[in-house]
Amino acid sequence: MERYCMKKTLTWLGVTVGSLVVFAGAGFGLTLVNKDSLATHFIEKYTGSKSDSASSSGTTSSSSDLLKVSKSSNLDSILNNGEYNGSAALNTGKKILVSSRGYGNHANKITMTRDSRFVMGKIQDVVNNAVIMHLIDTGKVKLNDKLSKYDKDVAGADLITVKEVMNQTSGLSAADFSATGAAKDLIKKVNADGAYDSASEGTYSDSRVNTILQAAIIQKATGQSYRSVIQDLLVQLELEQTTFGLKNKTVDYYESGDSLNGTKVSLDDLDTKVINRLGKDQLVSSPSDMAQLFNYLFNSDYVAPATLDKVFKNAKGGHAAGFAVDGDSLSLAQSIAGGRNRVEWNLKDQTGTFLFSNYVNGEDNLATISTSMFDYLR
């Protein structure tokens, strides 16, 4: 699939670049590729040349500057002291340090590795919202746009804003339903069954409905399928351990307990509205891939600093764009059956910790481990 997507992308680029040449030769003053668009980033990456209209935004990295990933004995020690079972990455701002500990499968003693794939759950909200912020920068979306501009069929669409969908404050909810379809199928389901509560609008309440509607905004604004937009990012950044669908995870999850003989959680039990946000388009990934992706989303010209300020500086209720917000410190934590995901990102230092565990043995101490990882940078 990855080779097909690469071929498809390069073919599209050839058409786009060829169109640019034709229009330029004919004397048309038309810019077909926005300076900050994915097309521009792809042209730079695969042709080795930078567009004349490319932005010089003063950011610390470009789309083609992937951070070096290396194993860290210091990180090993931090995980060992925390009796951690999972994989971890530390984005130092200059490189990505990785470590893993324990088993991806206890019964067969399959060792955890830096490439182990975990279910991303709510982390997908962060990815979605970064894409929406990029679309804001390119003039395709506005924070205060009404949802009806992108999906007119959902309840409350004329009252709810894009910002509220991003921040999980839309007042929308829906009864549990199967997530067996792709994003486009789930959008239809939300349009049919979503319920709007005006009294709850503006108050943070996590709901898969908002994650699905984020995908709807992305589809409408780009004119592409949700998956193709996300896939373009994955291909561009060479994120080989990030793909779609719960079945493509490579670790087993276990129920919480006091020993490493916890009960394995079935794939069906992972398919809940809290964990499986986007059905067939739900991401699975590794800590190092997510560290690379977050570095690009928040520490390059993909999203302008001014847009980040608009989204995060005045976060109501302490939540914005998938994160809990405390000044420059962003955090996200979620239980995945008996495992945990924890991501922390510092907007000022552009550093972050990524902890994915398939089994928490006793005390849930991922926050303490994350603090120790940040302390290592000081």
pLDDT band for position 365 (50/70/90)? confident
Q: What is the pLDDT of residues 268-305, one digit of tens each?
A: 888 887 889 999 999 999 999 999 999 999 999 999 99
* Domain coordinates in residue numbering, the chain: 1-65, 72-378
The answer to whether the beta carbons of residues 247 and 239 sit under 8 Å apart is no
What are the angstrom distances between the C-alpha of 12 and each of 16, 19, 38, 181? 6, 11, 12, 27
**Nearest CA-CA partner of 88 in 100, 77, 78, 76:** 100
At 277, is the secondary structure helix, strand, or coil?
coil
> CATH number of the domain at 72-378, please?
3.40.710.10
How many helices (H) and strands (E) are present in the chain, helices listed first?
12, 15
Q: What is the pLDDT of residues 142-199, one digit of tens each?
A: 999 999 999 999 999 999 999 999 999 999 998 877 677 899 999 999 999 999 999 9
The kind and range of the H/E element at 8 are: helix 2-25
Which sign does the torsion angle of CA 5, 303, 45, 249 carry?
A: negative
Measure the CA angle with vertex 47, ends 37 and 5; round to 5°: 65
How many CB atoms lie under 10 A from the CB of residue 355? 25
Q: What is the pLDDT of residues 91-132, one digit of tens each?
A: 999 999 999 999 998 888 899 999 999 999 999 999 999 999
Q: What is the pLDDT of residues 305-344, one digit of tens each?
A: 999 999 998 787 799 999 999 999 999 999 998 899 999 9
Tell me the backbone φ, ψ of residue 28, rounded to 5 degrees: -75, 135
3-state DSSP of 285-312: ECHHHHHHHHHHHHCCCCCCHHHHHHHH
The phi-psi region of residue 140 (left if phi > 0; otherwise alpha if psi is between -120 and 50; otherwise beta) is alpha
Which residues on neighbouring strands pair with residue 146, listed in sequence order?
Answer: 161
The answer to whether the beta carbons of residues 216 and 187 sit under 8 Å apart is yes
What torsion, rounded to 10 degrees, do the Cα atoms 88, 91, 96, 98 define? -10
The answer to whether the beta carbons of residues 114 and 87 sit under 8 Å apart is yes
